[in-house]
Structure formats: structure tokens, C-alpha cells
Structure 1
Amino acid sequence: MPLHKIEDMQSDAYTEAWLVGPHETKFYTRTYTASPETSKAALVWIHGFAEHVGRYTEAHPVLAAAGINVFAFDQRGFGKTALDPENKSRTSAYGKTSGRNQMEDVKWALSHAKETFPGLPLFLAGHSMGGMEVLNYATRHKGEGTRGIIACSPLVAQTIPASKLLRAAGGLFALPLPNFMMPAEVEYDDLSHDEAYNNMCKVDKLSIQQGTLRGLSDMLNWGEELLKDQLYLRWPKNLPLLLLHGTGDQVTSCKKSALFYEHVTTDYKRTVEFPNGFHELLHEPEHRERMLKEIIDYVNLCSLEGEAFVEARKAVDGDAASAPTAPAAEAEAVAPEAKL
């Protein structure tokens, strides 16, 4: 998959639109539409902190080509939704968001996708901060309207936690000064093993490594509460989960993701840990194809209903049981129910 310039990438593969969402906020959106012959599911994609939908111009067409329609939007406080001078809402500003706002926005996006692709099974996927959001939507809002959840490198916790003193001060001042800006730096070399991609991120004008006190506080707290407050106990038993993480992630903790996964009780769940995979697995040269295959296979399986789903599950379980033993690194990385 060749990589192109991140900023203002254009493609015949998607359509752009500015849509009005919660609180009269205008959102920049992209829709990747599958052909009528192959269309079988829809997916809402939630990007991560300091990201925007332009980072996925290589991945989302692959999903659409596999029959999975994709609706993606620059989140409140990020990308063009926050920075486009001609189209953004008057009240929009970079980093200006909250956990409550994000849940409202996710629900709005799902509703829009349902109207756009009526009758198709609908999935919710997110990366990093977006992964934290989709896990919270599943536990706080019962995954309403979704057939399954896909969490990629979710922010359950930071790999290297921020200073407790700084966190406490930020939480305290988030009440009187919610929109006060603070630096929130991520090492670009920790994003992926693709040096060219990392260098493009460094000069991406739509990505600013800053956030507001409220946005940063909620982002970290809502991630940690998934474990600390045992929100996993609220996971709907009939809501499937796919969790994907790299063992070399220096941004979000793979170990904490695995711990959350262990605690989730559901009729179907699958996790894959990618050996030495960095934070943005969809831009990892060694892992991006496997990442996309995992997402496509999961959507195909969980789009089935009733006996068809049960029989397909049996086939998947049978293939896993008869597969050759994986190399030691991979065998340790994949949970028992996900071994190939």
C-alpha cells in the first residue's frame, strides 16, 4: 500500500461532506461506499487523539472493496472539524471536547450511518483515543445500534503514565478552565516502523499535539475507568468484541488492553497481539495487511445471524484447533480463543 501526502488527500474512493451533528457542530466527514454487488455491512470509524480521517485514506478503501461501507469523521476538536477556517462551526476549536460530547458524537455518527446504509449490520471501530471511546460506548451505552465493536490500540492506559501531579493539577483546573490548552506530545517515531509515514505526520498541519484540560482529563480518566471502575462488567453479553494491539506500543498499554479483554464476558470475542507492533498498526509495514484481514474477517463473521453465525463460529474454531503451532512470539501474543 503506497503512502501519499496526508494533508488534503483526495480520492475517488470517498465522498466528502460537512454534516451538522450534536450541539449544531459541523463535522467534516468522509464516506467510502462499497459497490452494490459486494455491499454487506457498514462501519463507523473513530480516529485517535491529534488525528483526522486523512490518516486512513490507504486503509478505508480496502474495507470498502471488501464490501464494508465506511463512515468516518474528524472528531469534535480535531482535524478539519476544528481547523477548517471556511467550514468549521464558530464555536469549534482545537482540542475542545469532552467524554460526554464524544459519546453524543459517536451516537450521532452511528445514526447517520444507519440512515445512509439501511438494513446493513453496523459496526463501530476506533483507534487509540477512538478505541477508548468505542469501549466506553459499549459499556456506558450498551453498544446501542451496533453489531460489534473493534478496538485498535485502545487507550485503556498509557504505556508510560503521565505524572500523577500533573494529572491531578489538570483535573483540578479542568473545572474552571476546561478549554485551556496544554501540550500532549507523542514521539512520532513511536507511531510506526514506517519512517516515511512518521515524517509526514511531523509536518501534518491538521495534527497538533495539544489538548484542552477537559479533553485530556476525560480522555485519560475514561480510559482508566474501564478497568478501575470495572466498566467491563457492563459489557452486553451478545455484543462481539475484536481487540487488536501491538506488543511494542509505547503510546497505549498493550498489557492493560489485554487485562480489559480478559474481564469482558461476551458470546464472542477475539484478540490479536502483533509482535513488536507500534501504535498505528494500520501503518505498520509488517502488520497492516493482517490488521485489515482481521477486521474484514470479524465483520464477515459477525454480520451473520442465528444458525449461520453458530456454524461459522464452529468452522473458525475448528480451523484454529487444526492449525499448525504458531511461532513462539505469536503464540504467546494471541489469546487462546484467537489462536490461528
Structure 2
Amino acid sequence: MAATTEGEFATRDGTKLYTKTWKPESDATQAVLIFLHGFSDHINAYYDLFPTLSSSPFNIAVYGFDQRGWGRSCKKPADHGHTGPTSLVISDVHDFVLHVASLPEAQGKPLFLMGHSMGGGEALTYMLSTSLDFSNRPPISGLLLESPYIEMHSSGQPSFAKVQAGKLASMLLPRMQLKQKLDATYMSRSEKVRRDWIDDPLCHDTGTLEGLKGLLQRSADLSHLSHGRPLHGFTTKLSCPVWISFGTGDRVLSHVAAQQLFNVVDAPNKDKTLKLYPDAYHKLHAEPDGVGEQFAKAAGEWILAHVGKQAEEAQVGEPQSGQKAASGS
């Protein structure tokens, strides 16, 4: 079993956010994974996913944090949903990536980034952004996306008028809190998981007008890219391999939109994978009948395969015994 530790890290504006780490008990850590949770969720609500990844045979150290406005990073109800605008949301992600990459135990280990739902959309926004604010982003060995928020499922998309009214209201009352309750029906096929999510006080379903506007805009940007349209400040060329997973039974978000984006993005050596789980719902990590276990195994195997590829590439780049490395003239 993995060893877990809790703590805090400070963002660049001094805000302290809750963190949790799952580490292999031995010194056999093969990779480091940073995880971004979804909307109205928190890092302690992912069941067996992190213990599985951090245990043998994977031995992947997992680092997560409750994002600003969510989970244990909220000290009082007034903090619920106060994520700030997208610039602050992605800045927090960048700060956490830099924080983890700087840890002594992460030195020399391949670094991977993974996000679920809203967190998947944030991970994509972060990795596809061309902003100079992220020019010091450490090398990412792979990007994993679980049910990423590109578009809402067609059955739940808000009307154009509602979106426009929300944008206007967010300009006038950006910090106004608003319940945005998600239907638990399609979260998981497990009744227990659905009930856990409903009963969890940390899954508070509360956003602010500013935060919800940012969430919708990030989705709109990614949807724009998925249709092959260029967008200022973004690229479709990833700097690392990508693995996207989605349940075809998901009625929260659209697996079709994720597939469209998958078709558009480029990855080094065309190293990209789309894994669809027939009829599975939104929380793939918590699906019953063995699906959750299959999902965790597939994610762990993909990470280790790319740890191996990276090691092979490093060996190819090293001079052979008795030879000197070529130098440029």
C-alpha cells in the first residue's frame, strides 16, 4: 500500500491550498503524476485510483491538491467556488507543477500531468497555451485526460441566451455565489458512488459567476480548437504524448467533442491514444463491474510505457562505450 501525506502549498499570491500525496512505500518510484480534480470535487474523492497507481507494479508517486474554491482548500462556506478568473486558475496549476517539480524526490523522475473533467480541461488549457507566463514550465513526459471538459453533453448544454446573461451578470457581480448542481445520475453506474457524491459536504456544487464564466470560456476555447479553428494564445501542438479516456455512456460531458479534439491535436511522433469505455459514465475511476480497475491499470501501464520510452531515448542519445559525444563546430 502507498504512504499518504497531507500538507499545504502556497501559490504566488500567498494563498495556501490543501495537498495530498500518495507515494510508493519503497524507493522504487518510477514516475511522478500531478492530478487535477473536477468541478465540485476534491482530491480525496477518487477512491482506489491513487492507491493503485502508487502501489506495485506501477510505483507512481501521485501529487494532488484541492483547487482554490474547492475541497479542503476552503476554510469557510464563503470560500466555496471562489476560483477567480481563468488566469488565476491556470496560474495555480502552474504554481503546483513548479512546486512538485522542485521537490527533491521528484528530481530525475519523469513528470506526468493528469486531469479529470474540469481538471482535464484545465490541463489542456495549460498545455496548449502559448502564454509566456508558462515559458518555465518543466518538461512533461505525458498528459492523461479522464472525461475532459471540452463540451457539455448535448442534453445538458445551456442556451445561448443563458450563457450571455451569465457573462453579463459576472461582470456586475463576479463574486456572487451560485449553486450549479450536477445530476448524479450519470456520474457513475454505482449507486454507492452516486450517493457518496450527493452526501459529501465537500462536493458543494457552488460556483461564483466569475468562476463559472471562466469554466464556460475554457470549454468554448477548447471546443473552438476541436473544430480546427485557430485561436489566439493557443496551439494544437502538444509538447508531449497524450492519452484521452472517456465513457460513451457519459451524459455529463461529450465524448464526441473529446474525440474531435483528439483528432485535431498533434503530439510528438504522433504519440496519442484515445480509449473509449463502452457505456461507461463520467467517473471512470469509480465505475463498477471492474471498469474502474481497468481504467487505473490502463493509465498506469500507459505511464510506465512512456517512462520506458524516455529511458530508451536517453540511452540512444548517450555515446557508446569508448566513444566521445559529437560536439558542434
Q: Normalization by structure 1: what TM-score?
A: 0.81
String of CA shifts for 1:136-181, please: whole Å, max 9, x gaps: 1110158832111111101101002112211111111212211111
Q: Does 1:150 align with 2:112?
A: no
Shift of 1:309: 5.5
What secondary structure is seen at the aligned counterpart in 1 of 2:113? strand
String of CA shifts for 1:97-146, please: whole Å, max 9, x gaps: 12111111111111121122111111110000000000111101588321
Paired letter, 2:168 = L
Partner of 1:56: 46
Q: Would you say the 8 A contact 2:37–2:117 is kept in 1? A: yes
Shift of 1:237: 4.9
Partner of 1:178: 174
Shift of 1:235: 3.4
Structure 1 Cα separation of the partners of residues 309 and 119 of structure 2: 27
Mind listing any 5+ residue stretches in structure 1 that lack a counterpart? Answer: 1-10, 312-340
Q: 1:78 aligns with which of 55, 66, 70?
A: 70
RMSD: 2.3
What secondary structure is seen at the aligned counterpart in 2 of 1:234? coil
Structure 2 Cα separation of the partners of residues 138 and 227 of structure 1: 15
Q: Relative to 1, partners in 2 of residues 1:307 and 1:23: Cα closer, same or farther, differing over 3 Å?
A: closer
Q: 2:101 aligns with which of 114, 119, 128?
A: 114
Structure 2 Cα separation of the partners of residues 264 and 108 of structure 1: 25
State the identity as a percent.
Answer: 27
Q: Normalization by structure 2: what TM-score?
A: 0.84
Q: Would you say the 8 A contact 2:127–2:238 is kept in 1? A: no
Partner of 1:99: 86
What secondary structure is seen at the aligned counterpart in 1 of 2:79? coil
Structure 1 Cα separation of the partners of residues 238 and 187 of structure 2: 33
Structure 2 Cα separation of the partners of residues 185 and 163 of structure 1: 17
Structure 1 Cα separation of the partners of residues 280 and 292 of structure 2: 10
- After the TM superposition, which residues 1-340 of structure 1 pair with which residues of structure 2 at under 5 Å, given as runs? 13-65=3-55, 66-82=58-74, 84-85=75-76, 93-97=79-83, 98-116=85-103, 117-141=106-130, 144-145=137-138, 146-159=140-153, 160-229=156-225, 230=229, 234-266=235-267, 267=269, 268-286=271-289, 287-305=291-309, 308=312
Q: Relative to 1, partners in 2 of residues 1:307 and 1:27: Cα closer, same or farther, differing over 3 Å?
A: closer
Structure 2 Cα separation of the partners of residues 184 and 249 of structure 1: 18
Paired letter, 2:88 = N
Structure 1 Cα separation of the partners of residues 207 and 310 of structure 2: 45
Structure 1 Cα separation of the partners of residues 95 and 308 of structure 2: 25
What secondary structure is seen at the aligned counterpart in 2 of 1:71? strand
Q: Would you say the 8 A contact 2:151–2:253 is kept in 1? A: yes
Q: Would you say the 8 A contact 2:2–2:22 is kept in 1? A: no
Structure 2 Cα separation of the partners of residues 80 and 37 of structure 1: 29
Structure 2 Cα separation of the partners of residues 234 and 209 of structure 1: 32
Q: Relative to 1, partners in 2 of residues 1:213 and 1:191: Cα closer, same or farther, differing over 3 Å?
A: same
Q: Relative to 1, partners in 2 of residues 1:237 and 1:168: Cα closer, same or farther, differing over 3 Å?
A: closer
Structure 2 Cα separation of the partners of residues 12 and 71 of structure 1: 12
Q: Would you say the 8 A contact 2:247–2:284 is kept in 1? A: yes
Shift of 1:57: 4.2
Q: Would you say the 8 A contact 2:2–2:25 is kept in 1? A: no
Structure 2 Cα separation of the partners of residues 148 and 306 of structure 1: 10
Shift of 1:310: 11
Q: Would you say the 8 A contact 1:301–1:309 is kept in 2? A: no
Shift of 1:183: 2.1
The number of equivalent residue pairs is 295
Shift of 1:19: 2.0
